Amino acid sequence: MADLHTRNQDHDEALCCQLHIAALMAEYLKLRGLQAWGAEAFADISMNIPRDEVGLKIDEGMADVHYNEQALLDQLMLCTEYVDKAERYELLGPLYRLVIPIYERRKDYQALLACYQHLTKAYAKVIEVTNSGKRLLGRFYRVAFFGKAFFGEDEDGVEFIYKEPKLTPLSEISEKLQQFYEQKFGAGCVKMIMDSAPVKRDELDAKVAYIQVTWVRAAPEGMVASHSGSEGSFERAHNVRRFVFETPFTRDGAARGPVHHQRLRLTHLTAESWFPYVKRRIPVTECQVEEKSPIEVAVSEMESQVAELNEIVHAKAPDIKKLQLRLQGSVYVQVNAGPIAYANAFLDSTLAPMYPDDLVDKLKATFKEFLTVCYAALQLNARLISSDQVSYQEALEANYYKLSNSLSAILGQPLHDILVNGNLSTTVTGVELDCSNA
Protein backbone atom coordinates (compact mmCIF):
# COMPACT_ATOMS: atom_id res chain seq x y z
CA MET A 1 0.00 0.00 0.00
CA ALA A 2 2.82 2.41 0.86
CA ASP A 3 4.48 1.79 -2.50
CA LEU A 4 1.19 2.29 -4.36
CA HIS A 5 0.49 5.56 -2.57
CA THR A 6 4.05 6.73 -3.27
CA ARG A 7 3.67 6.02 -6.98
CA ASN A 8 0.42 8.00 -6.98
CA GLN A 9 2.08 10.91 -5.11
CA ASP A 10 -0.28 10.37 -2.18
CA HIS A 11 2.40 11.19 0.38
CA ASP A 12 0.06 11.49 3.39
CA GLU A 13 -1.29 7.99 2.91
CA ALA A 14 2.17 6.55 2.20
CA LEU A 15 3.39 8.13 5.45
CA CYS A 16 0.50 6.58 7.38
CA CYS A 17 1.32 3.12 5.98
CA GLN A 18 4.94 3.47 7.08
CA LEU A 19 3.88 4.66 10.53
CA HIS A 20 1.55 1.68 10.96
CA ILE A 21 4.42 -0.64 10.00
CA ALA A 22 6.63 0.98 12.65
CA ALA A 23 3.83 0.67 15.23
CA LEU A 24 3.42 -3.03 14.48
CA MET A 25 7.16 -3.53 14.99
CA ALA A 26 7.03 -1.63 18.28
CA GLU A 27 4.03 -3.67 19.45
CA TYR A 28 5.85 -6.90 18.57
CA LEU A 29 8.95 -5.86 20.55
CA LYS A 30 6.78 -4.87 23.52
CA LEU A 31 4.99 -8.23 23.51
CA ARG A 32 8.38 -9.98 23.37
CA GLY A 33 9.47 -8.01 26.43
CA LEU A 34 12.25 -6.29 24.48
CA GLN A 35 11.02 -2.72 25.12
CA ALA A 36 8.50 -0.95 27.34
CA TRP A 37 6.40 0.78 24.67
CA GLY A 38 4.37 -0.31 21.70
CA ALA A 39 1.77 1.09 19.32
CA GLU A 40 0.22 3.29 22.02
CA ALA A 41 3.29 5.55 21.83
CA PHE A 42 2.15 6.72 18.38
CA ALA A 43 -1.05 8.36 19.69
CA ASP A 44 0.37 11.89 19.32
CA ILE A 45 1.19 11.15 15.68
CA SER A 46 -2.01 9.43 14.57
CA MET A 47 -5.07 8.55 16.61
CA ASN A 48 -5.72 5.60 14.29
CA ILE A 49 -2.56 3.73 15.26
CA PRO A 50 -3.34 2.81 18.91
CA ARG A 51 -6.85 1.79 17.86
CA ASP A 52 -5.68 -0.36 14.95
CA GLU A 53 -2.40 -1.86 16.14
CA VAL A 54 -2.59 -2.29 19.94
CA GLY A 55 -3.37 -5.86 20.90
CA LEU A 56 -1.19 -7.65 18.34
CA LYS A 57 -1.38 -11.43 18.81
CA ILE A 58 1.81 -13.43 18.40
CA ASP A 59 0.85 -16.80 16.96
CA GLU A 60 2.59 -19.62 15.14
CA GLY A 61 2.56 -17.62 11.91
CA MET A 62 4.94 -15.13 13.47
CA ALA A 63 7.46 -17.71 14.64
CA ASP A 64 9.89 -16.73 11.88
CA VAL A 65 9.57 -12.97 12.49
CA HIS A 66 12.71 -11.53 14.03
CA TYR A 67 12.19 -7.82 14.46
CA ASN A 68 14.70 -6.10 16.69
CA GLU A 69 15.41 -2.60 17.93
CA GLN A 70 17.55 -1.75 14.90
CA ALA A 71 14.78 -2.76 12.48
CA LEU A 72 12.35 -0.50 14.37
CA LEU A 73 14.86 2.34 14.41
CA ASP A 74 15.42 2.02 10.66
CA GLN A 75 11.66 2.08 10.08
CA LEU A 76 11.19 5.14 12.30
CA MET A 77 13.94 6.98 10.42
CA LEU A 78 12.24 6.04 7.15
CA CYS A 79 9.06 7.60 8.54
CA THR A 80 10.91 10.88 9.12
CA GLU A 81 11.68 11.01 5.39
CA TYR A 82 8.02 10.47 4.55
CA VAL A 83 7.03 13.25 6.96
CA ASP A 84 9.07 15.68 4.86
CA LYS A 85 7.45 14.46 1.64
CA ALA A 86 4.00 14.90 3.16
CA GLU A 87 4.93 18.38 4.49
CA ARG A 88 3.55 17.45 7.92
CA TYR A 89 6.58 18.84 9.70
CA GLU A 90 4.79 19.07 13.07
CA LEU A 91 4.94 15.25 13.31
CA LEU A 92 8.73 15.15 13.50
CA GLY A 93 8.70 16.23 17.16
CA PRO A 94 6.67 13.27 18.50
CA LEU A 95 8.40 10.94 16.02
CA TYR A 96 11.89 11.87 17.17
CA ARG A 97 10.76 11.52 20.79
CA LEU A 98 10.64 7.79 20.00
CA VAL A 99 13.96 7.79 18.15
CA ILE A 100 16.19 10.03 20.28
CA PRO A 101 16.11 7.92 23.50
CA ILE A 102 17.48 4.97 21.51
CA TYR A 103 20.41 7.02 20.17
CA GLU A 104 20.99 8.54 23.63
CA ARG A 105 21.20 5.09 25.20
CA ARG A 106 23.69 4.09 22.49
CA LYS A 107 25.61 7.37 22.94
CA ASP A 108 25.45 7.84 19.19
CA TYR A 109 26.12 11.58 19.17
CA GLN A 110 26.53 11.82 15.41
CA ALA A 111 23.02 10.41 14.93
CA LEU A 112 21.68 12.72 17.65
CA LEU A 113 23.23 15.71 15.89
CA ALA A 114 21.48 14.72 12.65
CA CYS A 115 18.16 14.33 14.50
CA TYR A 116 18.32 17.77 16.07
CA GLN A 117 19.45 19.39 12.81
CA HIS A 118 16.46 17.82 11.07
CA LEU A 119 14.14 19.08 13.82
CA THR A 120 15.60 22.59 13.53
CA LYS A 121 14.89 22.65 9.79
CA ALA A 122 11.41 21.21 10.32
CA TYR A 123 10.39 23.82 12.88
CA ALA A 124 11.75 26.55 10.60
CA LYS A 125 9.52 25.13 7.84
CA VAL A 126 6.51 25.18 10.19
CA ILE A 127 7.09 28.88 10.83
CA GLU A 128 7.60 29.55 7.11
CA VAL A 129 4.48 27.75 5.86
CA THR A 130 2.35 29.10 8.72
CA ASN A 131 3.31 32.67 7.88
CA SER A 132 3.00 32.22 4.12
CA GLY A 133 -0.17 30.12 4.16
CA LYS A 134 1.18 28.32 1.09
CA ARG A 135 1.12 24.78 2.49
CA LEU A 136 -1.95 22.93 1.26
CA LEU A 137 -2.76 19.76 3.16
CA GLY A 138 -5.74 18.64 1.12
CA ARG A 139 -9.47 19.08 0.77
CA PHE A 140 -12.28 16.86 1.97
CA TYR A 141 -15.42 15.83 0.13
CA ARG A 142 -18.48 13.89 1.15
CA VAL A 143 -19.39 11.38 -1.57
CA ALA A 144 -22.70 9.48 -1.44
CA PHE A 145 -23.69 6.62 -3.77
CA PHE A 146 -27.25 5.78 -4.81
CA GLY A 147 -28.44 2.88 -6.94
CA LYS A 148 -28.77 -0.63 -5.54
CA ALA A 149 -28.47 -2.20 -9.01
CA PHE A 150 -25.02 -0.66 -9.41
CA PHE A 151 -23.52 -0.30 -5.96
CA GLY A 152 -25.23 -3.23 -4.23
CA GLU A 153 -26.67 -3.17 -0.75
CA ASP A 154 -23.23 -2.56 0.77
CA GLU A 155 -22.75 0.87 -0.80
CA ASP A 156 -26.23 2.01 -1.85
CA GLY A 157 -26.99 5.13 0.17
CA VAL A 158 -23.61 4.96 1.91
CA GLU A 159 -21.59 8.14 2.44
CA PHE A 160 -17.81 8.41 2.41
CA ILE A 161 -15.36 11.20 3.19
CA TYR A 162 -12.75 11.47 0.43
CA LYS A 163 -9.44 13.25 1.02
CA GLU A 164 -8.12 14.92 -2.11
CA PRO A 165 -4.66 16.46 -2.52
CA LYS A 166 -3.83 20.17 -2.33
CA LEU A 167 -6.66 22.36 -3.70
CA THR A 168 -8.54 19.77 -5.73
CA PRO A 169 -11.73 21.57 -6.87
CA LEU A 170 -15.21 20.07 -6.75
CA SER A 171 -15.32 19.86 -10.55
CA GLU A 172 -12.14 17.78 -10.70
CA ILE A 173 -13.15 15.11 -8.17
CA SER A 174 -16.64 14.95 -9.72
CA GLU A 175 -15.22 14.41 -13.20
CA LYS A 176 -12.79 11.80 -11.91
CA LEU A 177 -15.53 9.85 -10.15
CA GLN A 178 -17.85 10.03 -13.16
CA GLN A 179 -15.17 8.74 -15.52
CA PHE A 180 -14.20 5.92 -13.15
CA TYR A 181 -17.76 4.65 -12.68
CA GLU A 182 -18.72 5.11 -16.34
CA GLN A 183 -15.85 2.81 -17.24
CA LYS A 184 -17.28 0.35 -14.73
CA PHE A 185 -21.01 0.68 -15.47
CA GLY A 186 -21.09 2.10 -18.99
CA ALA A 187 -21.40 5.55 -20.57
CA GLY A 188 -24.64 7.33 -19.73
CA CYS A 189 -25.29 5.14 -16.68
CA VAL A 190 -23.80 7.57 -14.15
CA LYS A 191 -25.30 10.88 -13.08
CA MET A 192 -23.62 13.37 -10.76
CA ILE A 193 -25.68 15.26 -8.16
CA MET A 194 -23.89 18.57 -7.70
CA ASP A 195 -26.01 20.24 -5.01
CA SER A 196 -25.94 19.43 -1.29
CA ALA A 197 -29.70 19.18 -0.77
CA PRO A 198 -31.06 15.92 0.71
CA VAL A 199 -31.59 13.34 -2.02
CA LYS A 200 -35.16 12.08 -2.52
CA ARG A 201 -34.33 8.48 -3.22
CA ASP A 202 -37.84 7.52 -4.30
CA GLU A 203 -37.51 9.94 -7.23
CA LEU A 204 -34.28 8.43 -8.57
CA ASP A 205 -34.18 6.33 -11.76
CA ALA A 206 -33.37 2.73 -10.85
CA LYS A 207 -31.46 2.37 -14.15
CA VAL A 208 -28.96 5.08 -13.26
CA ALA A 209 -26.09 5.19 -10.76
CA TYR A 210 -26.13 8.47 -8.84
CA ILE A 211 -23.15 10.04 -7.10
CA GLN A 212 -23.50 13.13 -4.92
CA VAL A 213 -20.33 15.11 -4.17
CA THR A 214 -20.20 17.90 -1.57
CA TRP A 215 -17.28 19.91 -0.25
CA VAL A 216 -17.00 19.60 3.53
CA ARG A 217 -14.81 21.39 6.03
CA ALA A 218 -13.06 19.58 8.83
CA ALA A 219 -13.95 20.19 12.46
CA PRO A 220 -10.90 18.83 14.36
CA GLU A 221 -11.36 17.18 17.73
CA GLY A 222 -11.71 19.76 20.48
CA MET A 223 -11.73 22.69 18.03
CA VAL A 224 -14.54 24.88 16.75
CA ALA A 225 -14.90 24.57 12.99
CA SER A 226 -13.50 27.55 11.15
CA HIS A 227 -15.77 29.21 8.62
CA SER A 228 -12.77 30.28 6.57
CA GLY A 229 -12.12 26.72 5.40
CA SER A 230 -8.40 27.32 5.33
CA GLU A 231 -6.81 24.07 4.15
CA GLY A 232 -3.33 25.31 5.08
CA SER A 233 -3.78 24.92 8.84
CA PHE A 234 -2.24 21.73 10.25
CA GLU A 235 -4.88 21.44 12.97
CA ARG A 236 -7.67 21.53 10.38
CA ALA A 237 -6.16 18.69 8.37
CA HIS A 238 -4.61 16.27 10.89
CA ASN A 239 -6.34 13.79 13.18
CA VAL A 240 -9.74 14.92 11.92
CA ARG A 241 -12.79 12.71 11.62
CA ARG A 242 -15.66 15.19 12.07
CA PHE A 243 -16.84 17.25 9.14
CA VAL A 244 -19.64 19.65 8.33
CA PHE A 245 -21.29 21.08 5.24
CA GLU A 246 -23.97 23.71 4.84
CA THR A 247 -27.10 23.74 2.69
CA PRO A 248 -28.95 27.06 2.32
CA PHE A 249 -32.73 26.81 2.01
CA THR A 250 -35.97 28.71 2.49
CA ARG A 251 -39.41 27.56 3.61
CA ASP A 252 -40.82 27.99 0.11
CA GLY A 253 -38.32 25.51 -1.32
CA ALA A 254 -35.86 27.92 -2.95
CA ALA A 255 -32.20 27.67 -1.96
CA ARG A 256 -31.78 31.42 -1.58
CA GLY A 257 -34.07 34.22 -0.48
CA PRO A 258 -34.14 37.52 1.44
CA VAL A 259 -32.06 37.46 4.63
CA HIS A 260 -35.17 37.30 6.84
CA HIS A 261 -36.21 34.11 5.00
CA GLN A 262 -32.76 32.57 4.61
CA ARG A 263 -32.24 29.39 6.60
CA LEU A 264 -29.28 27.05 6.84
CA ARG A 265 -29.04 23.31 7.26
CA LEU A 266 -25.78 22.08 8.80
CA THR A 267 -24.97 18.42 8.30
CA HIS A 268 -22.38 17.07 10.73
CA LEU A 269 -20.58 13.89 9.66
CA THR A 270 -18.31 11.57 11.65
CA ALA A 271 -15.95 9.28 9.75
CA GLU A 272 -14.96 5.80 10.88
CA SER A 273 -11.27 6.79 11.16
CA TRP A 274 -9.17 9.92 11.45
CA PHE A 275 -7.56 11.60 8.45
CA PRO A 276 -4.95 11.19 7.14
CA TYR A 277 -5.13 7.40 7.07
CA VAL A 278 -3.78 4.48 5.05
CA LYS A 279 -6.79 4.98 2.75
CA ARG A 280 -8.00 8.11 0.98
CA ARG A 281 -11.68 7.42 1.58
CA ILE A 282 -13.33 6.50 4.85
CA PRO A 283 -17.01 5.61 5.42
CA VAL A 284 -19.24 7.92 7.45
CA THR A 285 -20.55 6.30 10.63
CA GLU A 286 -22.70 9.10 12.05
CA CYS A 287 -24.75 11.93 10.58
CA GLN A 288 -26.48 14.71 12.52
CA VAL A 289 -28.52 17.54 11.00
CA GLU A 290 -28.98 20.96 12.56
CA GLU A 291 -31.13 23.79 11.17
CA LYS A 292 -30.53 27.49 11.77
CA SER A 293 -33.23 30.15 11.67
CA PRO A 294 -32.65 33.36 9.65
CA ILE A 295 -31.41 35.35 12.65
CA GLU A 296 -29.13 32.48 13.68
CA VAL A 297 -27.71 32.51 10.14
CA ALA A 298 -27.07 36.25 10.51
CA VAL A 299 -25.28 35.75 13.85
CA SER A 300 -23.18 32.95 12.40
CA GLU A 301 -22.20 34.96 9.32
CA MET A 302 -21.23 38.02 11.35
CA GLU A 303 -19.25 35.91 13.83
CA SER A 304 -17.45 34.37 10.86
CA GLN A 305 -16.51 37.80 9.50
CA VAL A 306 -15.24 38.85 12.92
CA ALA A 307 -13.17 35.65 13.25
CA GLU A 308 -11.63 36.02 9.79
CA LEU A 309 -10.68 39.65 10.38
CA ASN A 310 -9.26 38.83 13.81
CA GLU A 311 -7.14 36.07 12.29
CA ILE A 312 -5.71 38.48 9.70
CA VAL A 313 -5.17 41.36 12.15
CA HIS A 314 -3.38 39.21 14.72
CA ALA A 315 -1.23 37.22 12.27
CA LYS A 316 2.48 37.36 13.07
CA ALA A 317 3.20 38.27 9.45
CA PRO A 318 0.13 40.18 8.16
CA ASP A 319 -0.84 39.56 4.53
CA ILE A 320 -1.74 42.99 3.12
CA LYS A 321 -3.58 41.57 0.09
CA LYS A 322 -5.76 39.37 2.28
CA LEU A 323 -6.26 42.26 4.70
CA GLN A 324 -7.42 44.67 2.00
CA LEU A 325 -9.72 42.13 0.35
CA ARG A 326 -11.41 41.43 3.67
CA LEU A 327 -11.61 45.13 4.55
CA GLN A 328 -13.24 45.99 1.22
CA GLY A 329 -15.78 43.23 1.69
CA SER A 330 -16.54 44.43 5.20
CA VAL A 331 -16.68 48.23 5.18
CA TYR A 332 -18.15 49.11 1.80
CA VAL A 333 -21.81 49.84 2.57
CA GLN A 334 -24.31 47.85 0.52
CA VAL A 335 -27.93 48.53 1.34
CA ASN A 336 -29.31 45.11 0.43
CA ALA A 337 -26.37 42.90 1.30
CA GLY A 338 -23.93 42.04 4.07
CA PRO A 339 -23.96 43.61 7.54
CA ILE A 340 -26.46 46.36 6.66
CA ALA A 341 -28.96 43.83 5.32
CA TYR A 342 -28.73 41.79 8.55
CA ALA A 343 -29.09 44.91 10.71
CA ASN A 344 -32.11 46.14 8.73
CA ALA A 345 -33.81 42.74 8.91
CA PHE A 346 -33.26 41.84 12.56
CA LEU A 347 -32.20 44.90 14.58
CA ASP A 348 -34.53 47.63 13.35
CA SER A 349 -36.63 48.76 16.34
CA THR A 350 -39.88 47.76 14.59
CA LEU A 351 -38.61 44.28 13.63
CA ALA A 352 -36.37 43.22 16.54
CA PRO A 353 -39.34 42.29 18.82
CA MET A 354 -40.21 39.51 16.34
CA TYR A 355 -37.05 37.58 17.29
CA PRO A 356 -35.74 36.01 20.52
CA ASP A 357 -34.18 38.64 22.78
CA ASP A 358 -31.02 36.60 23.39
CA LEU A 359 -30.33 36.30 19.65
CA VAL A 360 -31.02 40.00 19.05
CA ASP A 361 -28.62 40.90 21.88
CA LYS A 362 -26.02 38.48 20.50
CA LEU A 363 -26.27 39.99 17.02
CA LYS A 364 -25.91 43.51 18.45
CA ALA A 365 -22.81 42.46 20.40
CA THR A 366 -21.36 40.82 17.29
CA PHE A 367 -21.87 44.03 15.29
CA LYS A 368 -19.93 45.96 17.93
CA GLU A 369 -17.11 43.38 17.73
CA PHE A 370 -17.27 43.67 13.94
CA LEU A 371 -16.80 47.43 13.98
CA THR A 372 -14.00 47.14 16.53
CA VAL A 373 -12.03 44.64 14.48
CA CYS A 374 -12.66 46.67 11.29
CA TYR A 375 -11.16 49.66 13.11
CA ALA A 376 -8.11 47.57 14.09
CA ALA A 377 -7.80 46.32 10.50
CA LEU A 378 -7.88 49.88 9.18
CA GLN A 379 -5.14 50.90 11.61
CA LEU A 380 -3.03 47.92 10.52
CA ASN A 381 -3.57 48.72 6.85
CA ALA A 382 -2.51 52.32 7.49
CA ARG A 383 0.79 51.06 8.91
CA LEU A 384 1.43 48.65 6.05
CA ILE A 385 0.61 50.67 2.94
CA SER A 386 2.98 52.89 1.00
CA SER A 387 2.41 56.58 0.22
CA ASP A 388 0.77 55.82 -3.14
CA GLN A 389 -2.15 54.12 -1.35
CA VAL A 390 -3.07 57.03 0.94
CA SER A 391 -6.18 57.87 -1.09
CA TYR A 392 -7.21 54.19 -0.99
CA GLN A 393 -6.85 54.23 2.81
CA GLU A 394 -8.93 57.40 3.02
CA ALA A 395 -11.68 55.76 0.94
CA LEU A 396 -11.70 52.71 3.23
CA GLU A 397 -11.92 54.92 6.32
CA ALA A 398 -14.71 57.02 4.81
CA ASN A 399 -16.71 53.91 4.02
CA TYR A 400 -16.04 52.57 7.50
CA TYR A 401 -17.67 55.67 8.98
CA LYS A 402 -20.61 55.43 6.59
CA LEU A 403 -21.12 51.84 7.74
CA SER A 404 -20.77 52.81 11.40
CA ASN A 405 -23.24 55.70 11.05
CA SER A 406 -25.76 53.49 9.21
CA LEU A 407 -25.55 50.82 11.92
CA SER A 408 -25.81 53.46 14.64
CA ALA A 409 -29.04 54.77 13.05
CA ILE A 410 -30.54 51.27 12.83
CA LEU A 411 -29.62 50.32 16.40
CA GLY A 412 -30.50 53.71 17.80
CA GLN A 413 -27.20 54.12 19.61
CA PRO A 414 -23.88 55.76 18.66
CA LEU A 415 -21.55 52.89 17.92
CA HIS A 416 -18.59 55.25 17.60
CA ASP A 417 -18.39 55.13 21.40
CA ILE A 418 -16.96 51.63 21.27
CA LEU A 419 -13.81 53.08 19.67
CA VAL A 420 -11.32 55.55 21.04
CA ASN A 421 -13.28 58.83 21.17
CA GLY A 422 -15.15 57.66 18.11
CA ASN A 423 -12.12 58.89 16.17
CA LEU A 424 -10.01 57.13 13.55
CA SER A 425 -6.74 58.98 13.16
CA THR A 426 -3.73 57.29 11.64
CA THR A 427 -0.39 58.14 10.18
CA VAL A 428 0.75 56.68 6.88
CA THR A 429 4.35 57.22 5.84
CA GLY A 430 4.35 60.63 7.48
CA VAL A 431 0.93 61.66 6.18
CA GLU A 432 -1.64 62.37 8.91
CA LEU A 433 -5.10 60.99 8.12
CA ASP A 434 -8.13 62.03 10.14
CA CYS A 435 -11.49 60.75 8.99
CA SER A 436 -13.46 61.65 12.09
CA ASN A 437 -15.63 63.97 10.03
CA ALA A 438 -16.16 61.60 7.13
pLDDT of residue 59: 66
pLDDT of residue 253: 83
User: How many CB atoms neighbour CB 385 within 10 A?
Assistant: 18
Q: Which whole number is the average pLDDT over 149-171? A: 94
Every domain range in the chain assigned CATH 1.20.58.740: 297-434
- CATH class of the structural domain 297-434: mainly alpha
What DSSP character marks residue 414?
-
Nearest to 330 by CA among 383, 366, 295: 366
Residue 420 has pLDDT above 60, yes or no: no
Nearest to 158 by CA among 170, 166, 150, 169: 150
Every domain range in the chain assigned CATH 1.25.40.410: 2-130
pLDDT of residue 220: 62
**CATH H-level superfamily of 2-130:** DOCK DHR2 domain, lobe A (1.25.40.410)
Per-residue pLDDT band for 412 (boundaries 50, 70, 90) equals confident
Give the strand pairing for 209-218 and 190-193: parallel
pLDDT tens digits for range 219-236: 865 444 444 444 458 988
Q: Would you say 310 and 323 are in contact if contact means Cβ atoms under 8 Å apart?
A: no
Q: Would you say 424 and 436 are in contact if contact means Cβ atoms under 8 Å apart?
A: yes
pLDDT of residue 60: 57
Residue 425 has pLDDT above 60, yes or no: no
Q: Which whole number is the average pLDDT over 162-185? A: 95
Q: Which whole number is the average pLDDT over 287-307? A: 94
DSSP H helix total and E strand total for the chain: 13, 9
pLDDT tens digits for range 7-26: 999 999 999 999 999 999 99
pTM above 0.75, yes or no: yes
pLDDT tens digits for range 366-382: 999 999 999 999 999 99
pLDDT tens digits for range 71-89: 999 999 999 999 999 999 9
